[in-house]
């Protein structure tokens, strides 16, 4: 569909405000008590949207051109499973995604989700060293980018609950 262009401040504080999506406005005044997170519709194959819904968020599914989740007009999140992070860093895809996010959002967030068995890129392997180096280069290229490490959907939900100031 279209690009997401919030006309007002944080989505979580929308009451009778509107959001412009792909040139048409949508009114989200029905949700005065539930915080709102805009979710790329392709993300619904992952478990995080379900966890966010169970945590009390109103989810607005839409096809986003940039990022996977929008918390506010200033904050977009790109979610990566660890193996996707490795391949995205290797191919240069994550570099392009961060470049686009940095142009649109004051606070671009990279949410890295790791399974219990993936305690990291800190394993003693050559791939881990290369991945770590590429991630450091990315951080130096985009100093406004924040990285959030998550080991469960529950901890990922805290980002939306607490906001980026607590991250």
Q: What is the pTM of this model?
A: 0.74
**d(C-alpha 135, C-alpha 86), whole Å:** 9
What is the band of 6 on the pLDDT scale with cuts at 50, 70, 90? very low
What is the band of 160 on the pLDDT scale with cuts at 50, 70, 90? low
- In the predicted structure, residue 5 carries a pLDDT above the cut 60: no
**d(C-alpha 22, C-alpha 5), whole Å:** 8
Region 11-32: what's the mean pLDDT?
43
Q: Which whole-number Å values give the CA distances from 90 to 52, 95, 130, 142, in the listed order?
A: 30, 10, 9, 17
Beta strands in 34-129 (DSSP E): 36-40, 58-62, 69-70, 75-81, 107-113
Region 88-104: what's the mean pLDDT?
94
Q: Angle at CA 162, nearest 5°, toward 39 and 115? A: 65
Region 44-61: what's the mean pLDDT?
91
> What pLDDT shows up at residue 17?
38
Region 51-76: what's the mean pLDDT?
92
Work out the percent of the chain whose per-residue pLDDT is above 90.
Answer: 44
DSSP letter for each residue of 106-164: SEEEEEEE--TT---TTSSSHHHHHHHHHHHHHHHH-TT-EEEEESSHHHHHHHHHH-G
């Amino acid at each position: 569909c279209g690009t997401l262009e919030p006309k007002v401040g944080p989505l979580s504080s929308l009451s009778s405000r509107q959001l412009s999506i792909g040139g048409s406005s949508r009114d989200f005044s029905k949700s005065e008590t539930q915080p709102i997170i805009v979710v790329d519709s392709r993300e619904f194959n992952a478990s995080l949207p379900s966890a966010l819904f169970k945590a009390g968020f109103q989810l607005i599914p839409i096809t986003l051109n940039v990022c996977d989740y929008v918390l506010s007009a200033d904050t977009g999140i790109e979610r990566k499973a660890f193996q996707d992070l490795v391949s995205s860093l290797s191919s240069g895809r994550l570099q392009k995604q961060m470049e686009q996010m940095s142009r649109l959002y004051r606070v671009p967030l990279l949410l890295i989700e790791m399974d219990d068995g993936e305690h990291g890129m800190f394993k003693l392997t050559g791939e881990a060293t290369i991945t770590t180096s590429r991630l450091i280069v990315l951080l130096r290229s985009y100093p406004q980018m924040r990285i959030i490490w998550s080991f469960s959907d529950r901890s990922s939900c805290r980002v939306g609950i607490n906001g980026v100031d607590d991250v």
